[in-house]
């Protein structure tokens, strides 16, 4: 990141080599289209190049930050809306960095394990919100469940993930 802040293009290439696979995987999962996912990949890294100060290393890991930014951009693209979240507003507490393939594979296995233990309705609500960018009211409309139930399920799902990584 230091190199990026001084405009070092080699540093950009290194960051790309380290994180492009996770960024691309997230964009592809949301969009289901390789061309659109590639566009998001390009956009996310260019945003970081243009404004490296948007990422605050004291507040979280770069890998997790890129994951959140990528998912938000991909959802914007999916819903055919202009970018709504400025990357400077994405602040998250420390989470796994996902810098290496092995680290990502271990973490992915753990996430899939937690998701597998969730009730189908809870997993479904969480996935609709996260991967499809649906609002709580859209999820409630689609599932026929009360808004409060949808809210409770989504929060409980996120907390379950958090706990799995705290142990």
Partner 1 sequence: MNGHEQYAEDLALYALDALTGEDRVKLAQHLATCASCRLELEQLRGDTALLALSAAGPRPPQRARQRLLDAVAREPRTVIARPNAPRLAWWGWLGWAATAAVLVFALSLWRENLTLQSTLASAGFQAAESARQLDELRKIAAPIIEPEAQRVTLVAAKAPPQPQGKAFYLKNRSSLVFLANNMPALPPQKAYELWLIPTNGDPIPAGVFKPDSHGSATVVNPPLPAGAEAKAFAITVENEAGSPKPTSPVLMMGTGE
**Contact flag: residue 13 with partner 1 (CB under 8 A):** yes
Are 15 and 44 within 8 A, CB to CB?
no
**Contact flag: residue 99 with partner 1 (CB under 8 A):** no
Name residues contacting partner 1, limited to 44-83 (CB under 8 A).
Answer: 45-46, 49-53, 59-60, 63-65, 67-68, 70-72, 75-76, 81-83
Binding pattern for the stretch 19-48 against partner 1, x by CB under 8 A and - elsewhere: -xxxxxxx-xx----x--xx--xx--xx--
Size of the site for partner 1 (CB under 8 A): 82
b or e along 21-52 (b: 16 or more beta carbons within 10 Å of the residue's beta carbon)?
ebbbbbbbebbeeeebbebbbebbbebbeeeb
Q: Output 39 or 144, the one with its CB closest to partner 1.
A: 39
**Contact flag: residue 119 with partner 1 (CB under 8 A):** no
Q: What span, in angstroms and rounded, lies between the C-alpha atoms of 134 and 149?
A: 15
């Amino acid at each position: 990141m230091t190199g990026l802040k001084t405009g070092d293009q080699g540093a950009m290439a290194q960051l790309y080599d380290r994180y492009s696979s996770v960024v691309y995987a997230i964009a592809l999962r949301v969009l289901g289209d390789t061309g659109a996912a590639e566009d998001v990949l390009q956009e996310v890294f260019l945003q970081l190049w243009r404004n490296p100060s948007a990422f605050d290393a004291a507040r979280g890991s770069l890998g997790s930050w890129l994951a959140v930014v990528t998912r938000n951009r991909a959802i914007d693209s999916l819903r055919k809306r202009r970018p709504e979240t400025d990357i400077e507003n994405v602040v998250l507490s420390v989470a796994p960095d996902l810098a290496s393939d092995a680290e990502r594979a271990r973490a992915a296995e753990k996430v899939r394990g937690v998701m597998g233990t969730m009730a189908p309705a809870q997993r479904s609500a969480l996935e609709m919100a996260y991967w499809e960018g649906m609002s709580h009211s859209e999820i409630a409309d689609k599932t026929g469940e009360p808004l409060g139930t949808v809210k409770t399920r989504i929060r409980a799902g996120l907390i379950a993930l958090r706990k799995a990584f705290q142990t």
